[in-house]
Amino acid sequence: MATQPAHLVHGMGTAMEAPTWPAIAADEAEAVLAHFPAAGWMSGLHWHSPRPFSAATLVHTTTGAFLLKRHHHRVRTVEGLAEEHAFIAHLAGAGVSVPEVIATADGATAVASAAWSYELHRAAPGADLYRDSLSWTPFASRAHAHAAGVALATLHEAARSFTAPARRPQPLVASFTILPAADPIAAAEAYVAARPGLAAT
């Protein structure tokens, strides 16, 4: 009986590497899906994301296909995900095409279990041509680059009416406070001081 190839993720170069976070297992996905009744019953896992900062898998269920993402709580908390989901809901309300965020039976859009935070999105229609590509891979064509630019402009226009408090300092969230500051050096020092993990390195 053939063994399954090891799950690898993108490294900092062009080579694939062993993941920091283990791939989402079928029993784990099934337990998380139990919090999201709208997702139905799981029939299988069909793809694992190679992105390095979280684990994600495409889950097929009795009601369709969903992207289940798992984050370490030090990278994304349930509260932080709720902030992002509020922004996604705003974009959807403004007519921007975004994947649907699935809610739990009590209306939450993320759940925590042990050291992990989970979110569930309905799979977007169409083909994801770049899902296995490195994040810094150039667009395959001018048409793709143009379409991405139009989509980004549409997102920015819709985002102009979004109001929310500034997000707390956390990994992988850029606040763009250093370069536009009157004193960028002082702003950089404050940025590091607010992030003890950076200050310790």
Task: Give domain limits for the chain.
Answer: 15-125, 166-201
**pLDDT per residue over 103-123, tens digit each?**
999 999 999 999 999 999 999
- All residues at 6 or more sequence positions from 98 whose CB lies less than 8 Å from its CB, including other chains: 88, 91, 92, 124
**pLDDT per residue over 137-150, tens digit each?**
899 999 999 999 99
pTM of the full predicted structure? Answer: 0.85
113: which strand partners?
116
The residue with greater pLDDT, 27 or 51, is: 27
**pLDDT per residue over 29-67, tens digit each?**
999 999 999 999 999 999 998 888 789 999 999 999 999
The residue with greater pLDDT, 193 or 78, is: 78
Q: Does domain 15-125 have CATH number 3.40.50.2300?
A: no
Instruction: Residue 149: count other Cβ atoms within 10 Å of its Cβ.
Output: 11
> Cβ(86)–Cβ(40) under 8 Å?
no
Predicted confidence (pLDDT) at residue 132 exceeds the cutoff of 70: yes
Report the share of the chain in percent with pLDDT over 90.
64
Q: Give the integer Cα–Cα distance in Å for 164 and 95.
A: 19
With CA atoms as reference, report the closest residue to 34 among 68, 81, 78, 72. 68
